[in-house]
Amino acid sequence: MGRLDHKVAIITGGARGQGAEEGRLFAAEGATVVLADVLDDIGRRTADEIQGARYLHLDVRSEADWQATVDSIVEHYGRVDVLVNNAGIDLAKRFEQTTLEEWERVVAINQTGVFLGMRTVARAMLAANRGGSIINISSVAGMEGVKGRAAYGSTKWAVRGMTKTGAIEWGDRGIRVNSIHPGIIETPMTAGLRAFTDADVRARTERTIPLGRVGQPIDIANMALFLASDESSYCTGQEFVVDGGIHH
């Protein structure tokens, strides 16, 4: 039997990268998977490649989109057991050069999107009275300051804080909330970084990582699987750093 048999999971940013890898792994472990994204064509193709998976359009900034998505899942499957708040964007820009428009866009997707997802799914979980697992993808930039990531890092710290609040408020109803803090992971979102476009930079980067390699989406998916499963039933309000050992 799979570790997620009979569980219904929604994964935001599920069209590609970490979200798609989480979807593939969750389905292989028995979950009913719903991938949600704004990249509709890619998302549908990804869902078609995963047995039993479904794709739904979701702009995580939209309260109405969130409600429609959760309502649709509950109507079709009766409940939501797992939420992975994976959708996010990066912004590599120095603090003093960041415009208000750029700041607000990063906050809307990375922070408000997680808030709306947590709140909407928690309401459905509370109504079903079955408990559940909410997994928020933060970053190592939510564990320390990172040069050139004022907006991005701020949202990832906020995700860490929302995780702890949700864990405290919903723990007595069986809803667990944890955050994952990836290090440098090779995904479409990070493809433009010099660590992936310049072989010499990549080699130098990997020399700074105790495990000697950059991360892959499966590394994050494996941690998400643990947190989605009953194997982590006594874990809530915690940060799980997946970075090859840089933070130790």
Known catalytic residues are: 152
Query: Would the CA dihedral through 47, 51, 54, 58 be positive or negative?
Result: negative
User: In terms of Cα–Cα distance, which of 166, 81, 167, 165 is closest to 129?
Assistant: 81
- Name, in order, each residue with C-beta under 8 angstroms of 63's C-beta and a sequence gap of 6 or more: 116, 120
User: In terms of Cα–Cα distance, which of 169, 137, 138 is closest to 153?
Assistant: 138
Angle, helices 150-170/113-128, rounded to nearest 10 degrees: 10
- Name, in order, each residue with C-beta under 8 angstroms of 119's C-beta and a sequence gap of 6 or more: none
The amino acid at residue 239 is E
- Name, in order, each residue with C-beta under 8 angstroms of 18's C-beta and a sequence gap of 6 or more: 86, 137, 182, 185, 187, 217, 220, 221
